[in-house]
């Protein structure tokens, strides 16, 4: 892996916009890291057309199947930024309490039933082998509201791994510790100078957004400002915008696919439930002046309603393209707002409506 640079171009309140350059690829922040059904439904060219800059793969899936695809950019045909998760969180979910060892985690593969032992060294080797541009370190991340003793053990274990496996360029150091300030602080102090950024673990979508905001504001204030801030949590639009306003640079998102699967088109900060009867005779495009592949092709709300209600998969696909484009357009708009030093009235109104 070559050197990673993160150039911060503009600040606005806690937010900043910048350019990440790694392995000859670039990404402008803040940005979403695409996860979920978009990656299994759309081609790399369609993802790029919808403004996707980064995709995510879970390294443990490749490690478990012992497949050796080599560099995933070539294997998947993806020329943008590739982020990999270590998958340690899933190994922990599969493990019994006695499987939590000091040097890794032991568990039965849920597919083959074979006993496996996954270590920080394995996680690093597989992520490097897959050609990841940004990697997330091995961590024991307990639930946000886990008992203090468990959170303490998670911090101690993760810090031990972090200090015994020095960070390389592109590594995002895991931060654990649930909602406890002192635990998060202890986790943060173990991050070596060589880490390219922080990956804030354990902030699951079920944690109330106001609590997420409290934690993220606290953490951002303690972080080295030149390092990347990554939140690997795929929440709803409110959670995404809240994290952006806290100053996160990269945030996971599978929102486009989840909304499309429910028959919803994202329009502005709201959504249209296209499977409802009232759209049966609606000849309008999904959104005014939308330049997504679906709206550009002239596909109407009525057409998508028909496709959804007659169970034709292309209906969901049209929604996915539109939603993905819309989310990435929102991010592009936010980058422009940060550069201009002013947050728009509609974004402020949305956050106020959500109780922020």
Kindly state the smallest distance separating residue 125's Cβ from Zn ion, in Å: 42
Query: Going by C-beta distance under 8 Å and a sequence separation of 6 or more, which residues neighbour residue 78?
Result: 44, 47, 55, 72
Which is closer to Zn ion, CB of 253 or CB of 294? 294
Interaction residues for Zn ion, span 206-245 (CB under 5 A): none
Which is closer to Zn ion, CB of 137 or CB of 293? 293
CB burial class (10 A; 0-12, 13-18, 19+) of residue 40? exposed
Interaction residues for Zn ion, span 95-114 (CB under 5 A): none
Interaction residues for Zn ion, span 263-322 (CB under 5 A): 286, 290, 292, 294-295, 322
Which is closer to Zn ion, CB of 270 or CB of 341? 270
Kindly state the smallest distance separating residue 47's Cβ from Zn ion, in Å: 15
Kindly state the smallest distance separating residue 285's Cβ from Zn ion, in Å: 7
Interaction residues for Zn ion, span 65-94 (CB under 5 A): none
Residue 129 CA to residue 212 CA, distance in Å, equals 34
Which is closer to Zn ion, CB of 290 or CB of 354? 290
What is the β-pairing status of strands 134-136 and 81-85? parallel
CB burial class (10 A; 0-12, 13-18, 19+) of residue 261? middle
Kindly state the smallest distance separating residue 292's Cβ from Zn ion, in Å: 3
For residue 325, how far is the Cα from the chain centroid?
16
* Joined tokens for residue 81: 């930024």
Cross-strand bridge partners of residue 10: 17
Residue 267 CA to residue 276 CA, distance in Å, equals 16
Interaction residues for Zn ion, span 134-163 (CB under 5 A): none
Which is closer to Zn ion, CB of 48 or CB of 290? 290
Kindly state the smallest distance separating residue 304's Cβ from Zn ion, in Å: 10
Residue 60 CA to residue 151 CA, distance in Å, equals 23
* Joined tokens for residue 258: 């989840």
Long-range contacts of 228-231, Cβ-Cβ distance < 8 Å, separation of 24 or more: 228/6, 228/20, 228/29, 228/134, 228/172, 228/196, 228/197, 228/198, 229/197, 229/198, 229/200, 230/33, 230/83, 230/134, 230/136, 230/172, 230/197, 230/198, 230/199, 230/200, 231/200, 231/203
Which is closer to Zn ion, CB of 92 or CB of 318? 318
Residue 15 CA to residue 347 CA, distance in Å, equals 14
Which is closer to Zn ion, CB of 286 or CB of 334? 286
Kindly state the smallest distance separating residue 265's Cβ from Zn ion, in Å: 8
Kindly state the smallest distance separating residue 256's Cβ from Zn ion, in Å: 11
Which is closer to Zn ion, CB of 261 or CB of 290? 290
- Residue 330 touches Zn ion, criterion: CB under 5 A: no
Q: How many residues bind Zn ion (CB under 5 A)?
A: 6
Kindly state the smallest distance separating residue 269's Cβ from Zn ion, in Å: 15
Residue pointed to by tokens 């201009």 = 340
Residues that bind Zn ion (CB under 5 A): 286, 290, 292, 294-295, 322
């Amino acid at each position: 892996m070559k050197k990673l640079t993160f150039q911060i171009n503009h600040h606005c309140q806690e937010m900043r916009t910048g350019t990440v350059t790694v392995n000859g690829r670039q990404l402008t922040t803040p940005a979403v890291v695409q996860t979920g059904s978009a990656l299994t439904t759309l081609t790399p060219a369609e993802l790029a057309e919808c403004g996707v800059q980064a995709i995510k793969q879970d390294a443990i899936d490749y490690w478990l199947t012992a497949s050796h695809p080599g560099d995933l950019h070539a294997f998947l045909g993806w020329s943008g930024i590739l982020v990999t998760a270590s998958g340690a969180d899933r190994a922990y979910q599969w493990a019994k309490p006695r499987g939590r060892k000091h040097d890794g985690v032991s568990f039965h593969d849920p597919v083959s039933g074979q006993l496996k032992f996954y270590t920080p060294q394995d996680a690093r080797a597989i992520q490097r082998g897959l050609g990841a541009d940004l990697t997330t370190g091995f961590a024991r991340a307990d639930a946000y509201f886990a008992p203090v003793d468990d959170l303490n053990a998670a911090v101690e274990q993760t810090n031990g791994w972090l200090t015994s496996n020095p960070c390389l360029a592109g590594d995002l150091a895991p931060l654990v510790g649930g909602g406890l300030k002192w635990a998060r602080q202890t986790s943060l102090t173990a991050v070596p100078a060589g880490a390219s950024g922080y990956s804030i673990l354990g902030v699951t979508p079920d944690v109330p957004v106001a609590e997420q905001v409290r934690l993220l504001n606290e953490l951002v204030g303690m972080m080295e400002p030149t390092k990347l801030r990554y939140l690997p949590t795929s929440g709803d639009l409110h959670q995404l915008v809240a994290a952006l306003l806290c100053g996160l640079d990269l945030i996971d998102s599978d929102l486009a696919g989840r909304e499309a699967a429910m028959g919803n088109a994202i329009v502005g900060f709201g959504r249209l439930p296209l499977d409802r009867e009232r759209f049966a005779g609606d000849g309008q495009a999904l959104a005014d002046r939308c330049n997504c592949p679906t709206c550009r092709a002239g596909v109407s709300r009525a057409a998508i309603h028909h496709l959804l209600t007659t169970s034709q998969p292309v209906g969901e696909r049209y929604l996915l393209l539109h939603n993905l484009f819309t989310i990435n357009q929102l991010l592009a708009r936010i980058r422009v707002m940060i550069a201009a030093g002013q947050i728009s009235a509609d974004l402020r109104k949305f956050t106020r409506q959500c109780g922020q």
